[in-house]
Amino acid sequence: MTIKRIGVMTSGGDAPGMNACVRAVVRTAAYNGVEVLGIIQGYEGLIHGEVKELTTRDVGGIIQRGGTILQTARSQQFRTKQGQREAVREMNENGMDGIIVIGGDGSLKGARALAELGVPVMGVPASIDNDIFGSDMSIGVDTALNTIIDAIDKLRDTASSHNRAFIVETMGRDCGYLAQISGIISGAEMVLLPGAEINVESVAKVIEDSYMKGKNHAIIVVAEGAQYNATQLSQELKDLDVGFHTRVTILGHIQRGGGPTAFDRLLGTRLGIKSVEALLGGTTDMMVGLQGNKIALVPLTEVVSHTRNVADDYMELFKRVS
Ligand code: F6P
């Protein structure tokens, strides 16, 4: 089948670099004489036929912008068979011969569902969590890490001035990647990850040891999904004498915002180009992913049937330098 018109959507949690990817998709398609419809708010917009034509001009001036110009959503309706049928129906109504889905784990599961219904589809990994199997890095991770270390550097300034310990909570769902890597590159004293039992006494000891070594601060990074969140951990530590007074900072959604770093602009661009070229070349039911410094094609079935727990790989590294 000759592809004349494709759809592109961003879905799930937004990630810096999504716009760079949308731009690359639109421009690569145009280069090949293919029209692009931008789908507004992910699968939700697809089901309700909320689309707009995107020309090369429409995606000018967006490569440096955080968020997503297409907006995004987490669609409950698309999880149902009927929702998926509606989506395919709308695609046919709008003359879409294929679709590029830019998003995280759940969005790629949605892409798989479309492929099963016979839709030519390519997935692009985009999520600050870096929990997507088949790609060393997802779009948005590098920017989120830079946001986190910038925040921790600032917290250390105030912590050092007041002789305080800070418990900093990062996002990342069940993966722990953001916490683990930011812990290494911000010089944190301890990182607490999902899936590991937290011994409050040993956390207290790390903080107390830092005090006794003459440090004027301590930074404990707690990943989302860890046994205790930052607030709970601070409660647990409340009655223990650890030398420093403690404060809690939950970084929250600022980790998802901001203009994409050079790395994320390039990654979004490379993945966007490759996804369109693959789709136009007849490839479907695949995700484009970064492996080493190459862009690889990974079957969506493999992507959605594996969970990625990259944090473990870095635990040893952290022990050497903390
Ligand atoms: O998947 C990205 C992410 O930011 C996770 O780290 C976090 O658990 C979740 O999304 C938060 O979702 P929401 O924006 O719906 O609160």
131 is a catalytic site residue: no
Residue 173 C-alpha to ligand 1 middle, in angstroms? Answer: 7
Q: Which residue stretches of the chain have pLDDT < 50?
A: none
215 lines ligand 1 (CB under 6 A): no
Residue nearest atom 15 in ligand 1 by C-alpha distance: 13
Residue to mutate (ligand 1; options 105, 171, 180, 250; most atoms within 8 A of CB): 171
Measured from the Cβ of residue 22, the count of other Cβ atoms closer than 10 Å reads 28
15 lines ligand 1 (CB under 6 A): no
Q: Residue 296 — φ and ψ, nearest 5°?
A: -110, 160
Residue nearest atom 14 in ligand 1 by C-alpha distance: 13
Which of these, 109, 102, 107, lies nearest to 289 by C-alpha position?
102
128 lines ligand 1 (CB under 6 A): yes
Residue nearest atom 1 in ligand 1 by C-alpha distance: 13
Residue nearest atom 12 in ligand 1 by C-alpha distance: 13
Exactly one of 14, 129, 142, 285 is catalytic; which is it?
129
Cβ partners under 8 Å of residue 295, min gap 6: 270, 271, 274, 288, 289
Q: Are 190 and 220 in contact (CB under 8 A)?
A: yes
67 lines ligand 1 (CB under 6 A): no
Q: What is the pLDDT of residues 231-246, one digit of tens each?
A: 999 999 999 999 999 9
| Predicted pLDDT at 312 | 65
What's the first-to-final CA gap in the chain, in angstroms?
56
103 lines ligand 1 (CB under 6 A): no
Where residue 118 falls (left for φ over 0; alpha for ψ -120 to 50; beta otherwise) is left
256 lines ligand 1 (CB under 6 A): yes
Mutual angle of helices 105-116 and 81-93, in 10-degree steps: 70
Residue 14 C-alpha to ligand 1 middle, in angstroms? Answer: 9
Residue 310 C-alpha to ligand 1 middle, in angstroms? Answer: 18
Residue nearest atom 8 in ligand 1 by C-alpha distance: 173
**Looking at the whole model, is its pTM more than 0.95?**
yes
Taking the CA atoms of 247, 253, 257 and 262 in sequence, report the sign of the dihedral they define: positive
Q: State which ligand 1 atom lies nearest to the alpha carbon of 15.
A: 2
